[in-house]
Chain A
Amino acid sequence: NAGVTQTPKFQVLKTGQSMTLQCAQDMNHEYMSWYRQDPGMGLRLIHYSVGAGITDQGEVPNGYNVSRSTTEDFPLRLLSAAPSQTSVYFCASSQRQAPYEQYFGPGTRLTVT
């Protein structure tokens, strides 16, 4: 199993640009989440999904959209990038039976100039 994969690994955007961060998992996990991690801080939940077709907001959802059309994929869209969105983004997945034993991807480092 590849586990949780994220692409790209690095990205630089200009203010106002849009892009999609990709996340995929091959463990057939029902739950998937997106977090951002800022320097010296813990992870903050952006959006999450408990199954295909179901998404909900986390702590810091503004400026981001998600969709979950398949169990495997959970893309994160930045609608109009802002410098405040410069961060490292992590995708995670887990089983319904153990929702907090999350498996994290390697992260995407995003810089918005």
Chain B
Amino acid sequence: GESVGLHLPTLSVQEGDNSIINCAYSNSASDYFIWYKQESGKGPQFIIDIRSNMDKRQGQRVTVLLNKTVKHLSLQIAATQPGDSAVYFCAETVYNQGGKLIFGQGTELSVKP
């Protein structure tokens, strides 16, 4: 079946450094991608999204890059802070197919002070 997966289950970075979290997807029909952040004991929180007609989208301290050729998605966090420590999930969908998101496994980001 179709799946979304992450290359690294854990990532440890120094406070102030930039973080890059990767995600591979396998459904070539997917045209919309989202990153969610989940802090310990809480529900996921929407961070940023990107449509397949874009290669890059920037938010506040975050950038999502999409490479459709190799079906790869990444989330870059600039100047990583302790509050960024969480599990990050990518999710994919075909936008006009009724709200069914397929989530990846998740990457745990740990920020060292």
Contacts and interface: CB of A to CB of B under 8 A. Distances in A.
B93 interface: yes
B43 A42 contact: no
A99 B101 CA distance: 10
A50 B45 CA distance: 20
A42 B34 contact: no
Contacts of A71: none
B52 to A, nearest CB: 13
Categorize the interface residue count of chain A.
20 to 34
B interface, over-half SS: loop
B99 A90 contact: no
A4 to B, nearest CB: 8
Interface stretch (A14-22, A62-70, A74-82, A102-110): A102-110
Given A48-B99, A100-B32, A100-B101, A41 B45 contact: no
Given A31-B99, A33-B99, A48-B99, A92 B105 contact: no
B75 interface: no
Contacts of B21: none
A105 B43 contact: yes
Contacts of B45: 104
Interface string B14-50: 0000000000000000001010000001111110010
A23 B82 CA distance: 31
Most chain A CB within 10 A, of B42, B46, B98, B105, is at B46
